[in-house]
Structure 1
Amino acid sequence: MTTVAEFIERNREQLVERYTEAVGKLESARGLTAYERTDTFPEYLSTLAAISRQGHRGDPVRTKKRLEETHISQRVRVGFNQEEVTGEYVLMGRLISGLWEALPLEQQPAQEDTRLLFEELEGAMDQVIVSFSGYSQEDRQREKRFLHRLNALAMEVMGDGEYSVPLNERLGALVEVVQEAMRADGAALLLADAGGMVLLPTTYTGRWNARTESEPVAVDGPTFVARLAASEEPLELPDAAVAGHAVSEGVRQSGLHSLLGLRLWPHGKLLGVFYLGVAELRPFEPQARRYLETLVEYLSGIIQKALLLQQLRQANERLRKSETLYRLATEAISDAIWDWNIQTDTLAWSGGVEKLFGHTREQLGGHISGWSDNIHPEDRERVVHGIHELIASGAQRWKDEYRFLHRGGGYVHVTDHGLVERDASGRAVRMVGAMQDITASRGASEALRASEDRLRLAVRAAELGTWDFNPVTGLLRWDERCKALFGLPLEPEVTYEGFLAAIHPEDRERADAAVQRALQPASGGEYDIELRTVGSKGRAVRWVRAIGRAVFEGGRAVRFIGTAQDISERKLQQQESQKRAEFAEQLIGIVSHDLRNPLNAITLSVAALLRQEELGERQAKGLARISAATERATRMIHDLLDFTRARLGGGIPIERKPLELHAHCRQVVEEVRLAHPDREVEVVQSGEGRGEWDGDRLAQVITNLVNNALAYSPPGTPVRVETRGEDGTVLLRVHNAGKPIPPELLPHLFEPMTRGRPGGDAASRSIGLGLFIVANVVHAHGGTIEVRSEPGEGTTFTARLPRRAS
């Protein structure tokens, strides 16, 4: 078996030439020289070959990583985008695997070798995604700009230390920034009440009229807002104008149509719901969903900190009267709350510091250094300088993000907010704040971006179409590839009725039934179907396989997503193979039937000649050989006719009649003995042998099994035939002491055209249909047959025959 390394080394120049030609067709490659287009590809091929030979270890792996980093950096400099760079590694995989795709399986590389190649290429694509961070430069700059604006407004939301304006009156500017960032026509924010069971209308911007939005919304109700509160992912509403009571009166009067929103869910607790709307009917692309998640996550942090500081502000008023009440309030909050006496540099922590970072209050000590010493060395100077500079400037609020040491080892990312308390002269005397662990949210956002990018690349590489159906609203979204598979135009949106119309009429009802079944909770949501498409205007038929899964909420399907793949070529190959097989089997039956007449004539003629008295010894032997050969040909023709009946006629026909199987078996074995006078065939019988069987067909079974045992056993060894009556069945067992049948042949022994191990008696060999016919006759009687072949034990065929038809 050839290795991947050998394929690469033999075709190195051809691979480089095709790679350079394909890369040169990219828009970003215009103006590049052939050397720049090729870049490190020749050396990279050598590294892949070395990994194929040595495995994933040693210098080749380090060299491969260096070459990938060099290649990605070079592509970034000349203007390639992420998709084009990852496409180069997809192209490498196609070019290399294309070297052996048309070869027989035994000439292709081993599966483990091929898997290692594609793992290395996937690793390179992951490196590309990490390098490009999943966003274009323009998207990242836009995100930074609006996050900066939110950050600038955050201080206003935190409110004045002495005079606190109600929070809902300070959130409008933040919501307007998110609305502008998403290019929406209106936005709404509802915050959860203390019990988390009701959402209270808080802020509305754009086309929404806040005066019409005054009623609380139950989180367990049927509305779109309630669905947002229960969903972990952003949700869309295609058209609010026709959504009825799923949306409020204010939404219906606003002129907004398509809605997109998600819940505010910091630390696993519902904070509120944010959603926005646009005036036109349109779907929201995945990038918009991800962008909204980033903005709302940041908005959640601001609101949560505002709520926290509002609580702290209220607590401070009470704490001036009672230090005990202060401790109870801070310990009730899950974040790490700290209280810094600026005059003495003593620092007090809430119990949350141990829960988040593993440090007890005693381990951190009572000095401010217990905090600063645990800040990451790369962040320490910036953070400490920043907080002292803010105190000196006379400002009141401080915020920063940095890495803080966890007691268990390693650093966690935190966001930290603080409020400065000053005396009558303006001197800072106290600072109270809260630290929050944001490691998981940061990691989840980055992992989600990488996962979405990998999925998008995988779908494109496999040439799959994707679809997304909302059973509640009836909205069906197809990508361009999916529309092309069904022969539909790219411009208009697809409806479910349009999907059914694009299916071949003979498959349409079956496809609709499969969809409806998948949308029922009892089905598990699984959907897998092969169907034919005709497209618009009766275009040519194409075979498509569609695979999907339904998502359920409260026993109702709320989303149905999946892929579609063109399988026309595979279906055509299957049909052609079936036609060829049926033609061959029909031809066998016709030829076998027509050969019986000339063979009968030969048999009769030989019999007549043998009766002549003047035959010499030589002539008699010749006629005897002709007679034996004719009988063997006749047996083969009978086997072929039975094979044709079994494959094309629905099985071998049998005619049951009362039969004593013990006596019948002795008679058949005696006939076999006459043909093999030099061999010992032992017959053993026990139990009741009466039943209803087709005697002629069972004679075929016994004859084939005994002849097979004689042909594949040493001349001096006996063959044992046993019939044994049991409850409801009679057992037929034939055993010989020959060499065991090879294990790899056992599963295929009863298939047509299959012979046993080499070395049997050449004179008694058949065309490989004997055991196939044996199995079909036994099965036609409702019985079973099995074979056991072990070294030292010989080979045993065991058939169990029911006494009567079931």
Structure 2
Amino acid sequence: MMGAVGPGVLRMLLLEDSPLDAELIQARLKEEGLRAVLERVDTREGFTSALGRQRFDVILCDYNVPGFGGGAALASARLACPETPFLFVSGALGEDTAIELLKRGATDYVLKDRLERLVPCIQRALREAHVDAERTRAERALRESEERYRLATLATSDAIWDWDLVTQRMTWNDAVLTLFGYARADVGGDITWWYDALHPEDRERVVCGIHSVIDSGAPRWQDQYRFRRKDGGYTPVVDRGHVSYDAAGKPVRMVGAIQDISAHTEAQEVLARQARFGQLMASVGLALTRGSDRGDMLRRCTEALVRHLDVAFARVWLLAEGGDTLVPEASAGLYAHVEGPLGRVRLGEHSVGRVARTREPLLVPLSEGSSRAEDLEWARVEGLSAFLGHPLLVADKCVGVVALVTRGEPASGASEVLRHAADSIALGVERMRAQEETARLFEREKAARTTAEEANRLKDEFLATVSHELRTPLTAMLGWVGLLRAGTLPLEKRARALETVERNARAQAQLIEDLLDVSRILAGKLKLDMELVDVSSVVEQALETVRPAAQARSIPLRGALDSTVRVMGDSHRLQQVVWNLLSNAVKFTPPEGAVDIWLERDGTFMTLFVQDTGQGISPEFLPHVFERFRQAEGGSTRRYGGLGLGLSIVRHLVEMHGGTVGVESEGDGKGALFSVRLPLAVVARKGNTPPPIPTRAQPLASTSPPELEGLHVLVVEDEEDTREMLRALLTSRRVRVSLASSAKEGLELLVRLSPDLLLSDIGMPGEDGYALIRGVRALPERSGGRIPAVALTAFARAEDRTRALLAGFNSHVPKPVEPMELFAVLVSLVGAQAPQARNKS
């Protein structure tokens, strides 16, 4: 025997032979916050005994219990407690079986692999049981009312009247006082008092009806109407009368009885209302399960509200993402669309916003619920009067509002029914949102996976391309160097070997520069040295750099340049832009093709165009032309080299200059047109043309700068090959060279030998070049503390140059070393000391 349970706790009987399944069901009830005491039985005897012992709020039953089938359990329960909700919770239940069980009295069924439906199903079953109980009570009340009517009639409690048709006098018994609250003095003595007591809407019909019966000679009359009470209200009554005729057939008297049928009428209204409400909840339940999406589900719900509650308008609002605005989602009745009156509402404003803010239902005249003139005018035109709203709550969180607008007073009980409907709609909205969020998460995860896979593919392809582009020139360089070292090359081929080695070394240097530029761009550390730039001069220098490659392929470079075009920019970076575009055009243009470049003015902007007659760009690849690492061809079968960085660098450099870059192509084999649009300089004076940009690919001078002859240079470099290269390069210009392989050795030699200039690497094991220069600058001047020093390093970023100068170096030369650049730096630092150096030697 189970003990007593507290208020709000449900008693449940569970017929289940599996302890594990019973634990799962118990856990699901607890997880969903349903307070219940669950009694489990697993045999026919236990089930029958439990039903006879006490009353349960809900019965849960497994369909397949050994020795006791679900159908038999259902039959036993319906005999013992037909009103108790009975739900099947089974692992497998065919559709035909489920339908048959529902026909035989089962309330619902839940599959064990869908236990998340269990608590909502129990809650719905309890609500439906409550509605059924209310209907039963109403039917009982109707029967009792009819019995009271019968007894009242027998006890002459009806208002009996006696009408003299000759004198028009009418007398009443005392029941008229009891039924309608009148005093004896209030009751008139003729027929006019009765006429006046009829409801104005009923009067003409009733009076015509009674006189028609009298005039026809019929003996009996009966009608139903509303009779005024003392308090001014009206009571529904049934009035029956019997006409007496004299010997000549003339009507002389009529006796009747007025019966108060208000209780009977109210009972009928309750039954009709309960039926409508039950149909409404069934329709809402169907809408929640059959709606194809959230909009369709809510539309079906609003249509059910209008249909079953006989209201003029119904609408559902949901809170937007920010949580401060209610957005109409579905409507029915006067407006089936979500635009128009009672639209978007901020939280706390007007009737709808107040319901959402307070999370409490609201019933007010429509004119009090909204101050918007357009809503008031709409209500006036349509004859609307009342607003009834209810919040959509999920675990005390408001997700929206459902509201009704009526032309009169809302039906009795409408607020309670709307509450039940709102609870169901809120759960449906939350379920649909969860499904939508799951779908969105899946799509985002799918898109992220696709993006990651594409990024990995591009990364792998880029790394393979880098390897290929670095190894290809290395192969040529190492091959020719091997032949040179073997001494087997004829004299006429040695120059070609050296030219090939130099060309491939410069190609590798360009690849590294591109990679460094991309690194600077990604880190946001790429800087521009802004000045007034003559664009035609920049283009001419880029043309001269690209012209040999174009001539080798018989591709003419045709230019139309305006020498008056000036922009504010970094001349070196702008030349890099033009060189990249021209190199691309030459690379992708077949022999005998052509490349054109020209400038155009457009108001305060200039546009540089580069057009080729090459292979063109496919429509699929055109949007990706300026993306990093993207190439139209990939893999080992691609026809053109490169890392796919040049055009990406172009885009970033142009955008850093405040411009835009674009590309057009009609497709494969139809060439391409690139355009660079930059703002013109605000002031462009004659004579401001910047000097030509020196190119790093100049041939080594055949004569030595006289300032270098006899100079004593201390070279500190940990890489032996680089040390020997620098020794050969400097001694070829009659410079005396001392070598050190570490910072420590270099400091010792500087103190001992007193060289004219220090040339040091930065990245060395142990102590680096920064440590060396700090040691040097700490020496007294007579020991070499003020010696001119040059940092020679592969750390080539602008911030690396700044760090070297701040550390104490006088200049910074990036690797790979350009001989003329190095000589120019040395001359600039020791020009005045060169004669002294020669005297030393």
How high is the TM-score relative to the length of structure 2? Answer: 0.37
